[in-house]
Amino acid sequence: MTAERKRFTDAEYAEMAADYAAGLATSDDIVSVEINPAYLRKGRPAEGVAPGKTPGFTVRLPEPIRFELTLRAKAEGSSPSELIRRAVIEYFGNHPAESK
């Protein structure tokens, strides 16, 4: 038996929207960030296997940043790509999008 997620009512969504409009969330307001691990598969797909849900994304970085990224990833036993993924997720968690 799996636990079902609570469905919010229209009134609850309206209350959350009003709360958000009153002021941006701070790190103290954020209880958790849920990331589906299926979207974070590492590495390239095996030869002959169709790509998953994480297509490649090219980013240009200055050489000093690339060097530091490589050093830190190696020190953590990770890859530069994994470190970038974690950094982006952390950034999104700490910097909510502004509503326009």
CA–CA distance, 68 with 80 (Å, rounded to integer): 10
Q: Is the pLDDT of residue 99 over 90?
A: no
Mean of the pLDDT values across residues 7-16?
A: 85
Task: Round to whole Å and give the CA distance between 96 and 26.
Answer: 9
Residues 37-94 have pLDDT tens digits of: 655 656 666 566 565 556 778 889 999 999 999 999 999 898 898 899 889 888 888 8
The model's pLDDT over 57-68, given as tens digits with 9 standing for 90+, comes to 888 999 999 999
pLDDT band, residue 19 (cuts 50/70/90): confident
* Residues contacting residue 92 through CB under 8 Å, at least 6 positions apart: 33
Rounded-to-integer distance, Cα 18 and Cα 24, Å: 11
